[in-house]
Amino acid sequence: MDPSAAMWLNQLFWLIFILLLIFPMLKAQTLEWSRERLIRAIEEKRKSRVITMIHRQETRSFLGFFMMRFITIEDSEQVLRAIRMTPKDLPIDFIIHTPGGLALAATQIAQALADHEAPVRVIVPHYAMSGGTLIALAADEIILDRHAVLGPVDPQLGQEPAASLVKIKELKKPDEIDDATWVKIDVSEKALKQMFENVKKLLLKKGYSEEIAERVAEELSTGKYTHDYPVTVEHLQALGLKVSTDVPEEVYALMDLYPQPAGTPSVQYIPVPYQRPGNNGAPTGSKSE
């Protein structure tokens, strides 16, 4: 091979390699700038501080690996810092999308939001389970998409529900339970009591009556449902919570800026809003010759 051609191919290889390395970083930075612009637009429209906690699977680096995210201590540190930087008389719009996470971190965030003197609105465009629900309960108003859901906040010891561990006492005789299980039962009873009191205190702090606070705490923290049970808008309203479905359109646009991993999509549709079909059967938002 001609030496000049070999040199050219070698340079081309390294150029492609560098582009593959840099392109994902440029794409990620572009997305970050777009998010910041939209967050600023929401703040100006709603006269509030917008804080987001959105846990989605995002592709990382040119190798294309991804990771599932949950509520962590690092999240609580950042949220508490954002709250400290917010004037006491400025409302907070907290946009959350999460499967849950560390109870300690979620509790810290919830308490900090509950203590904020101006109105706090927690906005849930799709779901906020477990610790995400605890955070939502610290709001003056919970704003959910019509089909968005929250979930139970009953404590989990590893992969085991605390409420189920406590029931072992009802199913076995004391001498049939080993010491390690007794320890788990003891911790579970404490965890259930602590979460019940935590939920109740949050709701009382937000102005709910003793009756509603105890009703919600009993419904969501005692293991009445499985941990992934979807608690709907209607269910939350029936419990007496202040819930609306007025999710700002800009919040949906913001969610679009947190893409999931690339690949063959399992769901596809034409991404434009349709109105009622016209007489010819075509959507009024499209043209038909």
pLDDT reported for residue 29: 67
Amino acid 59: pLDDT: 47
Q: What is the DSSP letter of 277?
A: B
Residues 111 and 47 in one domain: yes
Helices (H), 125-230: 131-136, 162-166, 168-171, 179-205, 210-221
Check whether 14 has a pLDDT greater than 90: no
Give the model's confidence band at 11: pLDDT under 50 very low, under 70 low, under 90 confident, else very high. Answer: confident
Residue 85 belongs to what domain range?
Answer: 31-151+230-263
Q: Of all helices (H) and strands (E), which one includes residue 28? A: helix 3-46
Query: What is the bridge-based pairing of β-strands 141-144 and 243-244?
Result: parallel
Q: Do residues 171 and 257 both lie within one domain?
A: no
Q: Is residue 283 part of a domain?
A: no
Whether 287 is in a domain gets the answer no
Based on the fold, state whether residues 51 and 113 are members of the same structural domain: yes
Encoding tokens for residue 86?
């917010």
Residues linked to residue 127 through DSSP beta bridges, in sequence order: 149
pLDDT in tens, 251-271: 999 999 887 665 566 777 787
CB 105 within 8 A of CB 80: no
Find out whether 56 and 66 touch, Cβ atoms under 8 Å.
no
Can you tell me the mean pLDDT for 202-224?
97
135 within domain boundaries: yes
Q: In the predicted model, is pLDDT for residue 61 greater than 50?
A: no
pLDDT of residue 23: 61
List % helix, strand, coil for the chain (3-state, nearest 5).
50, 15, 35
User: Model confidence at 278, in pLDDT bands (50, 70, 90)?
Assistant: low
221 and 235 within one domain: no
Looking at the structure, do residues 240 and 220 belong to the same domain, yes or no? no
- pTM over cut 0.85: no
Mean pLDDT in residue range 10-25: 71
What pLDDT is stored for residue 265 in this prediction?
67
131 lies in the same domain as 168: no
pLDDT (tens digit, 9 = 90+) per residue, 128-172? 999 999 999 999 999 999 999 999 999 999 889 999 999 999 999
- Least confidently predicted of 79-93, 194-208, 270-284: 270-284
User: Is 162 a member of any domain?
Assistant: yes
State whether 249 and 118 are in the same domain: yes
The answer to which of 17-21, 229-233, 255-259 has the lowest mean pLDDT is 17-21
Asked if residue 16 belongs to a domain, the reply is no
Number of domains in the chain: 2
181 and 103 together in one domain? no
Q: Which range (32-36, 107-111, 191-195) has the least confidence? A: 32-36
Tell me the pLDDT band of 182, cut-offs 50, 70 and 90: very high
- Domain with residue 139: its CATH number is 3.90.226.10
Residues 126 and 200 placed together within one structural domain of the fold: no
- Torsional sign, CA 246, 249, 250, 251: positive
Confidence of residue 10 (pLDDT cuts 50, 70, 90): confident
Identify whether 18 is part of a domain.
Answer: no
Contact status, residue 53 vs residue 122, Cβ threshold 8 Å: no
Handedness of CA 215, 233, 266, 34 (dihedral sign): negative
* 271 domain residue, yes or no: no
What's the pLDDT at 74?
96
Please provide the average confidence, as pLDDT, over all residues in the chain. 88
In this structure, are 240 and 139 located in the same domain? yes
Over the stretch 64-123, which tens digit does the pLDDT of each residue have? 444 557 999 999 999 999 999 999 999 999 999 999 999 999 999 999 999 999 999 999
Note whether 86 and 161 are same-domain residues. no
Short-list 273, 268, 257, 243, CA closest to 128: 243
Of 197, 225, 253, the one marking the end of a domain is 225
Indicate whether 274 belongs to any domain: no
94 and 165 within one domain: no
pLDDT for 286 equals 45
